[in-house]
Amino acid sequence: MRKTFLPFSPPMIGEEEIAEVVDTLRSDWITTGPKTKRFEEEFASYLGAPAALALNSCTAALHTALVTLGVGPGDEVITTPMTFAASVNVIEHVGARPVLVDVEPDTLNIDPLQIERALTPRTRAILPVHYAGHPVDLDAIFELARPRGIIVLEDAAHALPASYKGRRIGSSGNPVAFSFYATKNLTTAEGGMLTGDPEFIERARVLSLHGMSRDAWKRYDKGGSWYYEVVAPGFKYNMTDIQASLGLWQLRKLEAFQRRRREVVKKYNEAFQQVEALETPVERPEVEHAWHLYVLRLRLEALRIDRNRFIEELKARNIGTSVHFIPIHLHPYYRDKYGYKPVDFPVAYANYQRMLSLPLNPRLTDEDVADVIEAVLDVVRVYQR
């Protein structure tokens, strides 16, 4: 058995990131400035996105996008219950009504057939989440949205760098929100990015910093002016140059990070695919999975323990795991406000009860991966029916 605890998802920060942060701290700019601008440009270039806006979280990106797009009271926004609360909280923040629909059994992404059934004259937007890094069925969603003038705002918190039918998620002019939280494939500790067409991004940029007509860099840089006007009641969502310093180097390392993630996924799949008690994640042929998460699903009928006990058994074997996610309709705020019952979204609920996320990050050594595999198979061996 493994001697030390293997954490679920530690960040991978190298000497290059540390040196870049120190360089920033010794410079004249530690908040939003030249490195943030460079990070936006390099990120957009990497994806092939028309434009990008660096923010302090993916939540900020989603909220700013909804406000920029004019979504508000009286509107409905269709989204998934299989996501982190932020995806739905932002809909509440703008005064719109979140309308949850169930997910597909294989990918656990939002189901376009369920979206179609949920459409009403009040549907203003669809907010699909690329769950675990597997892109949603974008063509089917846009076929529903475009003829009706419905906005599609993609939550790509997990989906860097994922592709759908040969195109990077975030490369179109459609608004897409990314996360750089500590556990993500690219991290700035906290942070996010919003991509989209240049006119949309410039309007979002104003809202992201108090609704001011010029940002701090333009005001305080040589040749800038002290004068500004507040043109909208905006937010304080800007990224700092300290965060961007991390992002610049993480972006350069991303392809290497992804190669290692795919190697780990291959080892997991080879070990688990033929085990009766385990269901491995899918990758449809038309996508490139970002593999932010490796979500293993238990076939509980083949085991004498439930998911929670399985997680405790792995912890006893020094393997850290997590669960992604507790579905939105089970949380007290949404359950009580909208009167949801657990079975209202049967696919999401049933899969929640049998899922766990295994360690998946580029810091994993071959020995770490072998320890995870050994522990999972040992728990199955001990508790199989």
315 annotated active-site: no
What residue type is assigned to position 179 of the chain? S
**Residue reference for tokens 């500790």:** 189
Burial of residue 269 (CB within 10 Å: 0-12, 13-18, 19+) is middle
CA dist 55 and 257 (Å) reads 23
Phi, psi of 177 (to 5 degrees): -110, 130
* Beta partners for residue 52, in sequence order: 195
Q: Tell me how crowded residue 82 is: count the other CB atoms within 10 A of its CB.
A: 29
Q: C-alpha 106: how far from its chain's center?
A: 18
CA dist 322 and 296 (Å) reads 11
Question: 168, 81, 65: which is closest to 124 by C-alpha?
Answer: 65
Q: What region does 95 belong to: left with phi over 0, alpha with psi -120 to 50, or beta?
A: left
Among 3, 37, 184, 253, the active-site one is 184
CA dist 375 and 385 (Å) reads 18
Tell me whether strands 76-79 and 294-298 are parallel, antiparallel or unpaired: unpaired
CA dist 43 and 191 (Å) reads 13
Question: 282, 262, 279, 289: which is closest to 376 by C-alpha?
Answer: 279
Catalytic residue numbers, as ranges: 184
